[in-house]
């Protein structure tokens, strides 16, 4: 039996579609490819975007902004020394883009203008660090993408 060019094209299309279907099924069922949403309440967070922008603008007006440093014990987050630590309240969020189960948040309890996030809470890789804090009536937001 001879295969003409029309039959060859049909066979090529069937093989290509079969290959693509194999890849799709393999990626959807394999546990090493985790498909998670970026955030659960995406639209709710989108509504508060202007508040976040205002907080970031407030942060830029500070003489000294929040900073972070990688130490042997973990990540040390420093707050402005011009503000009394007892007047600072808020939350530190660690968001892991690759795995939702690693996300966590820590309430701000400052020790000498700093807070230490220990090594046991962090895994090597990329993190999105967000510090949402208040000093009196003023709200501030610090966002940084870090590699631990």
- pLDDT for 35 beyond 70: no
Q: With 70 as the cut, is the pLDDT of residue 38 above it?
A: no
Same domain, 88 and 26: no
Domain enclosing residue 28, as ranges = 1-33
Q: Based on the domain organization, do 4 and 73 belong to the same domain?
A: no
pLDDT in tens, 95-113: 888 777 888 888 888 878 8
The number of domains in the chain is: 2
Say if residue 25 is in the same domain as residue 46. Answer: no
Whether residue 47 has pLDDT greater than 90: no
Decide if pLDDT at 19 tops 90: yes
Q: What is the DSSP string of 118-145?
A: EGGG--SSEEEEEEEEEETTEEEEEEEE
Q: Are 4 and 71 found together in one domain?
A: no
Q: What is the pLDDT of residue 97?
A: 81
Q: Are 10 and 59 found together in one domain? A: no
Q: Does 123 lie in the same domain as 100?
A: yes
What average pLDDT is seen over the chain? 85
Is pLDDT at 14 greater than 90 in this prediction?
A: yes
DSSP-assigned letter for residue 81: T
**Are 71 and 99 in a shared domain?**
yes
Q: Which residues contact 134 (CB under 8 A, 6 or more apart)?
A: 88, 89, 90, 140
Q: pLDDT tens digit string along 66-96?
A: 889 888 888 888 888 888 878 888 899 998 8
Q: Are 22 and 53 within one domain?
A: no
Same domain for 48 and 96, yes or no, is: yes
């Amino acid at each position: 039996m001879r295969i003409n060019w029309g039959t060859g094209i049909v066979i090529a299309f069937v093989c290509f579609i079969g290959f693509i279907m194999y890849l799709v099924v393999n990626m959807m069922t394999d546990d090493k490819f985790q498909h998670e949403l970026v955030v659960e309440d995406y639209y709710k967070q989108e509504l508060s975007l202007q508040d976040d922008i205002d907080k970031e603008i407030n942060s830029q007006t500070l003489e000294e902004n929040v900073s972070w440093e990688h130490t042997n014990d973990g990540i040390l987050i420093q707050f402005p020394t011009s503000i009394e630590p007892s007047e600072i309240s808020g939350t530190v969020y660690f968001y892991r883009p690759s795995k939702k189960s690693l996300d966590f948040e820590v309430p701000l309890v400052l020790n000498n203008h700093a807070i230490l996030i220990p090594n046991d809470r962090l895994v090597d890789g990329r993190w999105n660090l967000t510090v949402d804090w208040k000093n009196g009536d003023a709200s501030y937001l610090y966002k940084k993408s870090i590699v631990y």
